[in-house]
Amino acid sequence: MTSATTRGVDRVAKAGEGALAQTGNIVQLFVDVARQLFVRPFQLREFIQQAWFIASVTILPTALIAIPFGAIVSLQTGSLIKQLGAESYTGAASVLVVVQQGSPLVTSLLVAGAAGSAVAADLGSRTIREEIDAMEVLGINPVQRLVVPRVLAMVLVAVLLNGLVAVVGIAGGYFFNVVVQGGTPGAYLASFGALAQLPDLYISTLKAAIFGVLAGVVAAYKGLNPKGGPKGVGDAVNQSVVVTFLLLFFANLIITAVFLQIVPPKVG
């Protein structure tokens, strides 16, 4: 084996070890958050401030994205279903896609991108200013004081925004299906009522909550572990967004697969 090949193998092995170490640290932080969740006093003021901040930076972009998102889903599914000769199920298909898959992912991507990057930058700045170390010296647990309120705030806002995206997306899909594609309002609503079921709404809300936890924990971990001063904070923000996006898609795949095994689709 040549020296160049050996160096390549060593780099791949080192990268794999680093990825496994970071995964373990993120899991450890998740466990710490779960444990500190029940420690009193709960930082209610910090939680409200963070929830308000996250909502203020995500509501408008979420609403603006939800309208074209619902329209795209409606146009694409309507065109596909028309080719298959099942126009009467257009409403059910587009609504279920929006509620089950679209709204949790759109919401969580915005929460992770806008709010997660802000959380990582805030905690990263505190870390390089040694505020986190000072808190630990004073006997204050930074996870209980700073991380838990931010994770809970991201979960709350993700769940609420998920409902907003679902409503706006369904309304946009209805408008484009009925007005643009010439669909029948009665058939659209009837097919939705025939195939949709309450577990679809439950799994959508559960997904949003889980995605909020993932976004909050990853952003907090990257913010608490920046490397190399201010530049390290910027790198941590970028890494938190990329890692969160990857985890969201993998989590969505697993949750959807388990849900379809537990709750079979309703037959119209």
CA–CA separation, 235 and 123 (whole Å): 13
User: Could you tell me the pTM of the whole model?
Assistant: 0.82
Query: Measuring CA to CA, which residue among 133, 129, 147, 170 is closest to residue 219?
Result: 147
Average pLDDT, the chain: 80
Average pLDDT (62-76) is 73
Go through the chain and tell me how many residues it has.
268
- Helix (H) or strand (E) holding 207, with range, is helix 198-224
Dump pLDDT digits (tens) for 108-164: 777 778 788 888 888 888 888 888 888 888 888 888 888 999 999 989 988 888 888
CB 191 within 8 A of CB 90: yes
The residues, ordered by sequence, that sit 6+ positions from 30 with a Cβ below 8 Å of its Cβ are 213, 217
User: What is the distance of C-alpha 173 from the center of its chain?
Assistant: 22
| Residues 91-113: tens digit of each pLDDT | 667 677 777 777 787 787 777 78
> Domains of the chain: which residue ranges?
13-262
Where does the pLDDT of residue 85 fall: very low under 50, low under 70, confident under 90, or very high at 90 and above? low
Residue entry with tokens 């000769």: 85
DSSP state of 138: T
